[in-house]
Chain A
Amino acid sequence: MNPLVLGGLIVGGLILIDVLLRLASKRGGGRLENDKEAIDRFIQEFPEIDSSDIGRVVTTQDRRHAFIVNRSDGVGFVRALGDRFVVRLLGSKDLASVDDDGETGLKLRFHDVTLRPARLLFSSADDRDFVAASLRQSAGI
Chain B
Amino acid sequence: MDSLANIQLPNTGQLAIPLYVVGILIELGLIWLGKAKGQYEHKDAMTSLLMGVGNVATGIIYAVVLIAMMTWAYNYRIFDPGVNWWSILLCFVLDDFRRYVYHAGLHRIRWWWADHVNHHSSQHYNLTTALRQPWTTIFTGSFLLYLPLAWLGFHPLLILFVGGINLAYQFLLHTETVGKLWKPIEYVMNTPSHHRVHHSSNPRYLDANYGCVFIIWDRIFGTFVEEREEDMPKYGLVQNIGTFNLFYVAFHEWISIFKDVIRPGLTMRERLMYMFAPPGWSHDGSRKTSEELKAQYVRLHPDQAGMEGLPELPGKNAARGMVQPAE
Contact = CB atoms under 8 A, between A and B. Distances in A.
Interface of A: 1, 6, 9-10, 13-14, 16-18, 20-22, 24-25, 44, 47-48, 79, 81-84, 86-88, 93, 112-116
Contact of B297 (A13, A18, A47): A47
B41 A9 contact: no
A84 B123 contact: yes
A19 to B, nearest CB: 10
Contact of A114 (B18, B128, B242): B242
Given A17-B49, A114-B242, A9 B300 contact: no
Count class of interface residues, chain B: 35 or more
A106 to B, nearest CB: 17
Contact of B28 (A14, A17, A86, A87): A17
Nearest to A23: B32
12 contacts: A6-B17, A20-B25, A20-B28, A21-B42, A48-B300, A81-B243, A86-B242, A87-B240, A88-B239, A93-B286, A113-B252, A114-B241
A82 B53 contact: no
B24 interface: yes
Q: Which 7 A-B pairs have the closest CB atoms?
A: A13-B21, A114-B241, A25-B42, A86-B242, A84-B123, A21-B42, A115-B242
Contacts of B255: 113
B44 A82 contact: yes
B139 interface: no
B43 interface: yes
A81 B255 CA distance: 21
B106 to A, nearest CB: 19
Nearest to A93: B286
A18 B39 CA distance: 15
A6 B16 CA distance: 11
B28 A21 contact: yes
B267 interface: no
Nearest to A83: B41
B40 A24 contact: yes
Contact of B248 (A47, A88, A113): A113
A10 B53 contact: yes
A9 B17 contact: yes
Among A1, A20, A21, A86, max chain B CB count under 10 A is at A21
Majority DSSP secondary structure for residues of A touching B: mixed
B145 interface: no
Contacts of A116: 242-243, 245
A113 B260 CA distance: 13
Contacts of B44: 82, 84
Contacts of B56: 10
Interface in B33-74: 39-46, 49-50, 53, 56
Contacts of A81: 123, 240, 242-244
B15 A1 contact: yes
B242 A79 contact: yes
A9 B40 contact: no
Nearest to A3: B14
B252 to A, nearest CB: 5
B41 A86 contact: no
B17 A82 contact: no
Contacts of B42: 18, 21-22, 24-25, 82
A47 B286 CA distance: 16
Given A20-B28, A24-B28, A6 B14 contact: yes
Contacts of B49: 14, 17
B11 interface: yes
Contacts of A17: 21, 24-25, 28, 45-46, 49, 128
B170 interface: no
B124 interface: yes
